[in-house]
Amino acid sequence: MAADTVPVTGWGRTAPTTARLIRPRTYEEAAAAVRNCGVRGGIPRGLGRAYGDAAQNAGGSVLDMTGLDRIHTIDAGGGTVLCDAGVSLHRLMEVLLPLGWFVPVTPGTRFVTVGGAIGADIHGKNHHVSGSFTRHVLSLELLTADGEIHTVGHGTPLFEATAGGMGLTGVILTATIRLQPVETSLMRVATERATDLDDLMARLTATDHHHRYSVAWIDLLARGAATGRAVLTRGDHAPLESLGRRARARRDPLAFRTPRLPAAPAFLPQGLLSRTTVGLFNEFWYRKAPRARTGALQTIPAFFHPLDGVPHWNRVYGRGGFVQYQFVVGQGQEDTLRRIVNRISQRRCPSFLAVLKRFGDADPGWLSFPLPGWTLALDLPASLPGLGGFLDELDEEVAAAGGRVYLAKDSRLRPELLTAMYPRLDDFRALRAELDPRGVFMSDLARRLDL
Ligand SMILES: Cc1cc2nc3c(=O)[nH]c(=O)nc-3n(C[C@H](O)[C@H](O)[C@H](O)COP(=O)(O)OP(=O)(O)OC[C@H]3O[C@@H](n4cnc5c(N)ncnc54)[C@H](O)[C@@H]3O)c2cc1C
């Protein structure tokens, strides 16, 4: 099996390191790669959409699992799929939508693998209804450090440690996933504006449960009375009857088409994303949104994955890359959220991609991120002066409020705060010590945070 030594980064492109990249094409090759990954260990990698350093391993091996991408069985009656962990959610949508099924949870990009979705226990706009991805995984096959393949399901320590375990319990080879039935590939969308953060939280609390999907884009440059103003978007899968007779005759209601714009240029001028340009963009985006509109029809890519239409959009932040900061604080910690939003907006951080969402119940994965409460995610250019110290202070506020930072987005959290943020961390470490005493599975994230 060929292995090249190459630079590897996360989607934010902040901390590149060099590793031996191995691309197994069979389960036997994956087992051989685990056996031979060397003293610096190895880490499985999917499509590299984790923003930080979770799927990289300085001086060691990285197992690119996208070569194992077969869809084995679809139960079109019962709504389950058994597939390799290297299959992307994009591919699952292409194959499953025409059959009337959708993935149970999708993040803001469909270019993630099933292995990455389980490894980070990803959440989507439907967390308040459906929980995280792994809640819908009926079982998975895991290749562990001893070269054995285990079939594991809910309620077992190995499953709960693997759900959100950031690839550190082993290589997920396959998964059986329960699907969401749909009658069309369109979304029925309601949009409304919220004038400030309190208005936004009140709207989310009062009516989130009316819709399967819900998320708010928030203007973090707005200040004063407008602090936290937002555009709230909610949606549901459009039932067939809602399309009307003419629309049904005109198009296949389950067709899945994906627009593709030209790729972002490799390098953009420094300062393109300044406070001024982002402020103008935010103003335009807020004003362009209808004050209140219901019943608009949107495609799945437009509703869930608008950024996927622009290949390599992460280049707009220039050579220095960008940090995505995502935290959650529980219900009842609204004051912490208000304080943090105020601090970000007073600091005039140029973030045009900022979303607030209300999570439902926590998921059983030991390192799973969601807690019932509020999660805020924002992109920030890594070159912003004083960014590290500022985010360290926010981490402390989040930890003091019983909240946590999302490991799939992280590239900078300090290890001291991790135990407070993830109370099952000791169980995770103990299981790893027993399962993998030689530390075969290792990543830059694991080294930095002593996972
Ligand atoms: C534009 C954008 C929007 C996003 N929106 C969201 C969102 O709404 N919600 C959300 O939760 N996340 C979101 N993310 C983050 C993304 O969903 C996760 O980081 C996901 O894990 C990426 O999957 P991947 O296949 O690219 O995995 P990678 O980034 O390659 O790896 C991520 C982790 O999964 C592990 N892993 C990968 N494959 C396997 C395997 N076969 N076996 C075991 N472990 C494995 C890796 O070791 C690593 O720890 C977003 C990312 C982007 C770029």
Check residue 278 and give its pLDDT. Answer: 79
User: 228: Cβ below 6 Å to ligand 1?
Assistant: no
Residue 102 has pLDDT above 60, yes or no: yes
* pLDDT band per the 50, 70, 90 thresholds, residue 269: low
Domain of 152: which CATH number?
Answer: 3.30.465.10
Distance between CA atoms of residues 73 and 75, nearest Å: 7
How far, in Å, is the centroid of ligand 1 from the Cα of 250? 37
The larger pLDDT score, comparing residue 286 to residue 249, is at 286
Tell me if 397 is assigned to some domain.
Answer: no
pLDDT in tens, 33-56: 999 999 999 999 999 999 999 999
Tell me if 144 is assigned to some domain.
Answer: yes
Looking at the structure of the chain, the number of domains it has is 1
Mean pLDDT rounded to a whole number for the chain: 94
User: 48: Cβ below 6 Å to ligand 1?
Assistant: yes
Distance between CA atoms of residues 6 and 17, nearest Å: 8
pLDDT in tens, 319-332: 889 999 999 999 99
pLDDT in tens, 351-408: 878 999 999 999 999 999 999 999 999 999 998 999 999 999 999 999 999 999 999 9
Ligand 1 site-directed mutation target among 22, 62, 90, 112, most atoms within 8 Å of CB: 112
Closest ligand 1 atom number to CA of residue 122: 11
Kindly provide the residue ranges of all beta strands, DSSP E only, lying in 211-321, ordered along the sequence.
213-218, 230-237, 292-299
* pLDDT band per the 50, 70, 90 thresholds, residue 270: low
Tell me if 168 is assigned to some domain.
Answer: yes
Residue 274 has pLDDT above 80, yes or no: no
Average pLDDT value for residue range 230-255? 88
Tell me if 7 is assigned to some domain.
Answer: no
**Tokens at residue 3, please?**
């292995």
How far, in Å, is the centroid of ligand 1 from the Cα of 113? 7
Strand order in the sheet with 404-405: 292-299, 186-194, 230-237, 213-218, 354-359, 373-381, 322-330, 404-405
Counting residues of the chain whose pLDDT is more than 70, the rounded percentage is: 97
Tell me if 150 is assigned to some domain.
Answer: yes
Average pLDDT value for residue range 277-299? 83
User: 41: Cβ below 6 Å to ligand 1?
Assistant: no
Domain span holding position 116? 67-182
> Looking at ligand 1, which residue's alpha carbon is closest to its atom 14?
107
Closest ligand 1 atom number to CA of residue 406: 11
Tell me if 351 is assigned to some domain.
Answer: no
Ligand 1 site-directed mutation target among 113, 171, 177, 407, most atoms within 8 Å of CB: 113
Residue 223 has pLDDT above 70, yes or no: yes
User: 54: Cβ below 6 Å to ligand 1?
Assistant: yes
Counting residues of the chain whose pLDDT is more than 90, the rounded percentage is: 83
